[in-house]
Structures are given as structure tokens and as C-alpha cells.
Amino acid sequence: QVQLVQSGAEVKKPGASVKVSCKASGYTFPSYGITWVRQAPGQGLEWMGWISPYIGNTNYAQKLQGRVTMTTDTSTSSAYMELMSLRSDDTAVYYCARFRFGDPFDYWGQGTLVTVSS
Amino acid sequence: EIVLTQSPDVQSVTPKEKVTITCRASQSIGSSLHWYQQKPGQSPKLLIKYASQSMSGVPSRFSGSGSGTDFTLTINSLEAEDAAAYYCHQSSSLPQTFGPGTKVDIK
């Protein structure tokens, strides 16, 4: 069965960086894109961007341009999201999800809580 | 950027009642509108894709309709397990966007 398993919770200081991993199984990894979505405490869902494991191209939300980098490692069927220059308003649960381009996000990881606090 | 608005923000209903949630897009998105259910402490779950296509395993009481700018998620005969937040999502154009969510509470 399709599974996306994310890395554990992180606590970071303002200005630091965080890298969240997402390991996929149960499907052909390069055949689907990986998207990242975050959810601040008590808030709604915010799309952050996506990456194509097959080609390696990315598309990021404009508000995160310059601070976010998404990568994949097809040898381990893993995706990574690195967010730099962390601020307190980056505190959120970060989700990875699978999709075919143009389609909705059909499988999601369990989420990774990133807390930014001094 | 396409803005999605949802109404109501919160709906408190009794079991077996019918629930209707609307999602309006700031411009036409055809049928590229999808619905997710998120229960507390859980990841979102895809319920309906392309406005009206139910995902496998989703109870038949959930249905979706609409096209263009106006969409509806209907829950017929609500069950206690349906207490959750419901989000619409458009994949018509980048950046992809979500609605602000509708919280369904059980009275």
C-alpha cells in the first residue's frame, strides 16, 4: 500500500534552517510528484510547492521563494523540504503528499511539527 | 492567484441531518476542484476529486457538485464520525490554493 512516512518533530531557533524528509513506498516513486503543504496551529492548509522526482523541476509558492528548497533522492524514494531563515510564523505542521500533475493530492504523510522559538 | 472562499465557517448539526458546504472560486476553474476531510490530529484525506468524483472507500453519503466558480459538498444523513474540517482545493492553476475550511461539529 502507498505510504509516505515523514521525519520527526523539530524545534528550531529563529534564523535557523530545517529539513524535513518524506520517504515513499508502495508505488513507483518517479511517476508521481511530491507536494508540500503546511498548517499553522489552528489554521488552514497552505500550499508550499511541488517537485517532480522524474525530472527534478520545482515550483514554489511566491511567498516562500528564496527560503524553500525541495529535493528528491530517487535511489531511496525520498523527498526533502528545507526551509531557511526560520521565523516564528513558520511554526506549523508540514505535510508531504503525492500527486499526478493537475490531479489532487491522494496520499499524505503523517505530518511533521516544526516549532520555531527562541 | 485564485482565491477560494468557503461557507459556512462552522456548522453545528445533529446526526442524520444534511450538511451543505459551498466553495466559491474567484475565477473559473472548470471542474478542477477537490474536497478533503481533516479530523483533529490527522492528515487531510481526499474525499472528492474533480468536483463530483468520489474516492474509493468514501461513504456514499458524501457527494460533490458544481463547475466553473461554484461548488458544493453535501453530506447526507450526517454521522458522528463526520465531525471534521472540510477544505476545498483547486488544481486549475498555480499557485494551487485551498479554501479556509469549514468545521463541522456534532451537536
- Contacts for B68-71: CB closer than 8 Å, 24+ residues apart: B68/B25, B68/B28, B68/B29, B68/B30, B69/B24, B69/B25, B69/B26, B69/B27, B69/B28, B69/B29, B70/B22, B70/B23, B70/B24, B70/B25, B71/B22, B71/B23, B71/B24, B71/B25, B71/B33
Question: What is the average pLDDT across B86-101?
Answer: 96
Residue B13 predicted with pLDDT over 90: yes
CA dist A52 and B35 (Å) reads: 23
Give which of A34, A45, A106, A108 to mutate to test B binding, by max B Cβ within 10 Å: A45
Residue A101 predicted with pLDDT over 90: no
B97 at interface of A, judged by CB pairs closer than 8 A: yes
The answer to whether A105 touches A98, Cβ cutoff 8 Å, is: yes
pLDDT in tens, A29-68: 999 999 999 999 999 999 999 999 988 899 999 999 999 9
